[in-house]
Amino acid sequence: MSRSNRIGLYGGTFDPIHNGHLYVITELLERDVVDQIILVPAGEPWLRENEPIASGEDRLKMCQLAVAELDLGDEVLVNSIEIRRSGPSYTIDTVEALKATYQNEEIVLILGTDAHATIDQWHRSDELKKLVEVLVIDRPDFPGSPTLDIDALNISATQVRAGDFDLLPPAVVTYIKERGLYASKWVSQSVNPDRGASSSR
């Protein structure tokens, strides 16, 4: 008897989505860990200290552009459920909605070691863990106990927002520049490129 399809739920702020995220997606699919991945940018991540810098619509669009560049067809889908939902983004709500759609599939919740460290604080976490298989991916800059080591890339969105655009898919770089996202970082770098130098009047 063949196993049920395994649907990977990969949520995050994606502010912005970068090559580290895409590496996780391609590795999990190439290793047949999951059959399909649903990428879900968070609307209002309630456990984050700071709100996302880019709007939900911009983060959604950047995810769509990045996934399109992967050219994997229906193996990777971007779902706007949390962006469209008002109020805090609770993973349990997203899982329940996906289970209603994918009734015969197994939902695999994809987390980095950093996110997994706080899972017990999540809304209805005990129920959540009963509904999904939790897959913990190694994150080089965060200690933990991954259930799968994929030699994840050591990339953070903070690096990208600081101007390291080589860590982004080309279409996302173009979108960021067209939309003027994270512009305050760029302006400060261009005005005062020398660290420690006094600013001109």
What is the total count of domains within the chain? 1
Q: Which amino acid makes up residue 107?
A: I
Distances in Å between the Cα of 185 and the Cα atoms of 69, 172, 177 are 26, 17, 12
| Domain-located, residue 36 | yes
Highest mean pLDDT (candidates 41-45, 93-97, 154-158): 93-97
Least Cα distance to 91 among 52, 47, 55 occurs for 47
Domain annotation covers residue 1: no
Q: Which structural domain, as residue segments, surrounds residue 119? A: 6-191
pLDDT confidence of residue 193: 37
Q: Which residues partner with 136 through β-bridges?
A: 111
Alpha helices in 117-193 (DSSP H): 125-131, 157-161, 170-179, 183-191
99 occurs within a structural domain: yes
Tell me whether residue 196 is in a domain.
Answer: no
Work out the average pLDDT over 2-9. Answer: 87
Q: Is residue 136 part of a domain?
A: yes
Cβ neighbour number for residue 147 with a 10 Å cutoff: 13
**Beta strands of 88-166 (E only): which ranges?**
106-112, 133-137
What are the pLDDT digits (tens) for 131-145?
999 999 998 878 788
Count of CA atoms in the C-beta half-sphere (13 A) of 165? 14
pTM, two decimals, is 0.87
Q: Report the pLDDT averaged over residues 111-135.
A: 95
Whichever domain contains 22, its CATH number is 3.40.50.620
Judge whether 136 and 116 are in contact, CB under 8 Å: yes
Q: Which two tokens stand for residue 110?
A: 């994809």
Is residue 200 situated within a structural domain?
Answer: no
Q: Report the chain's mean pLDDT, rounded to a whole number.
A: 88
Q: Is the pLDDT of residue 81 over 70?
A: yes
Buried b (16+ CB within 10 A) or exposed e, 76-96: bebbebbbebeeebbbbbbbe
**In a domain? residue 24:** yes
* Cα Rg of the chain, angstroms: 18
For 37, which DSSP code?
E
Is 201 inside any structural domain? no
pLDDT of residue 47: 61
pLDDT of 22-54, one tens digit each?
999 999 999 999 999 999 999 987 666 678 999
Find tokens 């799968």 and name the residue.
148
